[in-house]
Amino acid sequence: MQPSQKSVRYLLADGFHDMAYTAWGEPDRTPVVCVHGLTRQGRDFDRLATALADDFYVICPDLPGRGLSDWLSGPALYQPLTYVTALGALLATLPPAVHWVGTSLGGICGMILAAQSKTPLTKLVLNDVGPFIPAAAIARIRDYMQPAPVLPDQAALETLLRVVHASFGVPDDAGWAEMAEYSGRSLPDGNVTLHYDPAIAEAFRAQEPADVDLRMFWEKIVIPTFTIRGALSDLLLEETLLEMEQAGSQSLTLPDVGHAPALMDGKTISAIRGFLAEN
């Protein structure tokens, strides 16, 4: 199955921008919006999207500054409000009943949107993120978000990803190759670097790591939720998952995986599909 490439336009203080997205399946089916983590892009969901596309219309955006989406005019614009604004413009083009799969930052955006009055979200899958994020995890992410390296070729890019994202639990060599295919951008001199705007890392590194409490949003969410946690995760703590389960969230913990699960293995894909298909 071949996806289609589309985009949606949204407005910020510095003008209009285009957010690219990959769409799988038939538009007349229930939409599933899949949103990636901080330094990733929408093609991370290719395997999940392929598995869901027989029953759903799967939409995988590149958040602003990532992948094929427009870069913004400065580091200060790379913040959750910007992402929610862009995603809100996307949601406005869809029917008013949308399922959501969000990895890390994508899950934070999902919680914010699900907490709003008249939200179009009907089901929420949170991949290794919850209503509390410890400062130590944010510090670790900040440490690896150094200035983007310049690499000689795609093979070197894949080698870097295998090190930086070893905790993702990518299940096979083909998965790493798929991740690397969309994770780089070519430079004028023929070298390769990472696909995102370096200003994203600049904005993230400018903030002193601190605990993030999102309970103000979590407590307003009334739609069904399903939380996936990597058993070795430092971002979604075991006690936070327990808090989410006590509030009614279904859950799945993946052994030998950290932050954030790649959502590429058959067991996890089957669990997500089962949750989204429930009446």
Q: Say how many CA atoms lie within 13 Å of 197 toward its Cβ.
A: 21
On whether residue 174 sits in a domain, the answer given is no
For residues 126 and 114, the answer to whether their CB atoms sit within 8 Å is: no
Residues 104 and 90: their CA atoms lie apart, in Å, by 19
For residues 265 and 48, the answer to whether their CB atoms sit within 8 Å is: no
Instruction: Give the mean model confidence (pLDDT) for residues 125-140.
Output: 96
Judged against a pLDDT cut of 90, whether residue 205 lies above it is answered with: no
In the chain, how long is the greatest CA-to-CA distance? 54
What are the distances in angstroms from CA 31 to CA 59, 91, 142, 161, 187?
Answer: 7, 10, 33, 30, 35
Residue 61 phi, psi (nearest 5): -75, 155
Residues in the chain: 279
Q: How many domains does the chain have?
A: 1
pTM for this model (two decimals):
0.96
Radius of gyration of the chain (CA): 17
Judged against a pLDDT cut of 80, whether residue 146 lies above it is answered with: no
pLDDT value for 1: 72
Q: How confident is the model at residue 149 (pLDDT cuts 50, 70, 90)?
A: confident
On whether residue 87 sits in a domain, the answer given is yes
On whether residue 143 sits in a domain, the answer given is no
Judged against a pLDDT cut of 90, whether residue 176 lies above it is answered with: yes
DSSP state of 67: T
pLDDT value for 107: 98
DSSP state of 151: B
On whether residue 38 sits in a domain, the answer given is yes
Average pLDDT, the chain: 95
Residues 45 and 170: their CA atoms lie apart, in Å, by 12
On whether residue 256 sits in a domain, the answer given is yes
On whether residue 157 sits in a domain, the answer given is no
Q: How far apart are the first and last CA of the chain?
A: 27
- Residues 66-82: pLDDT tens digits? 999 999 999 999 999 99
pLDDT value for 81: 95
On whether residue 201 sits in a domain, the answer given is no
- CATH number reported for the structural domain that contains residue 266 in this entry: 3.40.50.1820
DSSP state of 248: T
Give the domain range for residue 272.
4-134+214-277
- Residues 30-77: pLDDT tens digits? 999 999 999 999 999 999 999 999 999 999 999 999 999 999 999 999
- Residues 92-102: pLDDT tens digits? 999 999 999 99
Find the helix or strand (DSSP H, E) in which 227 lies.
strand 225-230
If DSSP codes are grouped into helix, strand and coil, which group holds residue 95? coil
Judged against a pLDDT cut of 90, whether residue 145 lies above it is answered with: no
For residues 30 and 56, the answer to whether their CB atoms sit within 8 Å is: yes
What are the distances in angstroms from CA 90 to CA 8, 116, 117, 279?
Answer: 6, 16, 17, 25
Instruction: Give the mean model confidence (pLDDT) for residues 17-25.
Output: 98
On whether residue 58 sits in a domain, the answer given is yes
Q: How confident is the model at residue 207 (pLDDT cuts 50, 70, 90)?
A: confident
For residue 45, the one-letter residue type is F
Judged against a pLDDT cut of 80, whether residue 202 lies above it is answered with: yes
- Residues 240-258: pLDDT tens digits? 999 999 999 999 999 999 9
Q: How confident is the model at residue 106 (pLDDT cuts 50, 70, 90)?
A: very high
Judged against a pLDDT cut of 80, whether residue 229 lies above it is answered with: yes
Q: How many Cβ atoms sit within 10 Å of the Cβ of residue 27? A: 11
